[in-house]
């Protein structure tokens, strides 16, 4: 089955949060796909079977399940009465100043893949009622309402606060390095958040409020690497994690981590890891 990256407008540019119903029939997406946003799904009626990453799971009425950003997933089967409500949001929807405690403890770790939300909530879970109430609350804030931004922001924030005590730090993940320079750290953060997209020096310089040449110099002085050496290594590290967990074609893995050339991906992967992506994937899947 072909895997597609889904590009869609989620909410508004300054508040990327969307909430919409999906019913059995043509609305139920069966194509294997992934997207840059986190998705929270509430099963209102019926039953559906999903493949999320490499795991096959069946969800029933009342279940709330969470699909992490950039995770390949597909709906394989559903009952005739199936109906779900999907909430899709980007960490940018709850982005605060870099020094804000919530940014440090939740938003940045979630965006960087260092924080993993619980994959399933069922009735009786301590966070279930709080999350469900906010999913339902989001229905009251369609985009044409004057106060929809405040309402959506409040609802998604409350969902995140309810989930935070049950989130886990990703195994083996390292915190964002502290190079001793705030501009360099900000540059690293943007790389971690957008490594799977096209990243230009001009984009990073604009976000860091520095001239491109000066940002390059500062970054190299503090890290010992060029910006694009750091970006390439980060993409390859992300690729190794996907290859370990997913049985995807190498070309799709390359696309998932931001390489637009499969041959360049092979070249950089072997240069950094000492082996080819295919050999790495085969070895990872053969281990008990």
The domains of the chain, with CATH numbers, are: 3-169 (2.60.120.280), 182-286 (1.10.10.60)
From residue 140, alpha-carbon distances to 16, 45, 136 in Å are 17, 20, 8
Residues 208, 186 contacting (CB under 8 angstroms): yes
Q: Mean per-residue pLDDT for 167-173?
A: 66
Beta strand segments in 92-141, E: 115-116, 120-121
Whether 35 shows a pLDDT value over 90: the answer reads no
pLDDT of amino acid 170? 67
Question: Tokens at residue 75, please?
Answer: 């709906």
Q: Please state, as a whole number, how many other Cβ atoms lie within 10 Å of the Cβ of residue 215.
A: 23
Give the chain's length. Answer: 288
pLDDT of amino acid 129? 95
Residues 154, 138 contacting (CB under 8 angstroms): no
Residue with tokens 């993993």: 116
pTM above 0.75, yes or no: no
Residue pLDDT, tens place only, 58-116? 999 999 999 988 888 888 888 989 999 999 998 888 888 878 888 888 888 888 778 88
Spell out the long-range contacts of 179-184 with Cβ–Cβ below 8 A and sequence spacing 24 or more.
179/222, 179/223, 180/222, 181/218, 181/222, 182/98, 183/208, 183/209, 183/210, 183/215, 183/218, 184/218, 184/219, 184/222, 184/223
CA–CA distance, 138 with 19 (Å, rounded to integer): 7
From residue 82, alpha-carbon distances to 2, 42, 100, 178, 179 in Å are 24, 11, 41, 48, 50
Q: What angle do CA 168, 109, 184 make, to 5 degrees?
A: 150
Residue pLDDT, tens place only, 233-267? 989 988 888 888 777 889 988 988 889 899 999 99
Residue pLDDT, tens place only, 184-238? 888 888 888 788 888 999 989 988 888 999 999 989 888 888 999 999 998 998 8
CA–CA distance, 214 with 79 (Å, rounded to integer): 58
């Amino acid at each position: 089955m072909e895997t597609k990256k889904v590009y869609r407008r989620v909410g508004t540019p300054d508040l990327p949060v969307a909430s919409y119903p999906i019913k059995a029939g043509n609305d139920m997406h069966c194509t294997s796909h992934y997207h840059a946003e986190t998705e929270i799904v509430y099963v209102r009626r019926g039953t559906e079977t999903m493949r999320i990453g490499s795991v096959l799971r069946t969800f029933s009425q009342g279940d709330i399940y969470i699909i992490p950003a950039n995770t390949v997933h597909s709906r394989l089967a559903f009952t005739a009465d199936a109906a779900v409500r999907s909430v899709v949001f980007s960490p940018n929807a709850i982005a605060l100043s870099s020094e804000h405690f919530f940014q440090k403890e939740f938003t940045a770790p979630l965006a960087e893949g260092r924080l993993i939300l619980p994959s399933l909530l069922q009735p009786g879970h301590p966070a279930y009622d709080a999350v469900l109430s906010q999913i339902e609350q989001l229905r009251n804030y369609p985009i044409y309402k004057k106060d929809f931004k405040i309402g959506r922001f409040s609802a998604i924030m409350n969902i995140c606060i309810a989930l935070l005590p049950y989130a886990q730090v990703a195994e083996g993940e390292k915190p964002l390095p502290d190079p001793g320079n705030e501009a360099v750290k900000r540059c690293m953060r943007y790389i971690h958040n957008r490594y799977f997209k096209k990243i230009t020096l001009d984009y990073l310089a604009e976000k860091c409020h520095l001239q491109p040449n000066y940002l390059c110099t500062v970054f190299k002085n503090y890290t010992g690497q060029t910006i694009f050496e750091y970006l390439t290594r980060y993409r390859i590290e992300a690729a190794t994690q996907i290859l370990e967990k997913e049985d995807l074609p190498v070309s799709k893995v390359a696309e998932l981590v931001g390489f637009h050339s499969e041959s360049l991906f092979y070249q950089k992967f072997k240069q950094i890891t000492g082996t080819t992506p295919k050999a790495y994937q085969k070895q990872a899947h053969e281990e008990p």
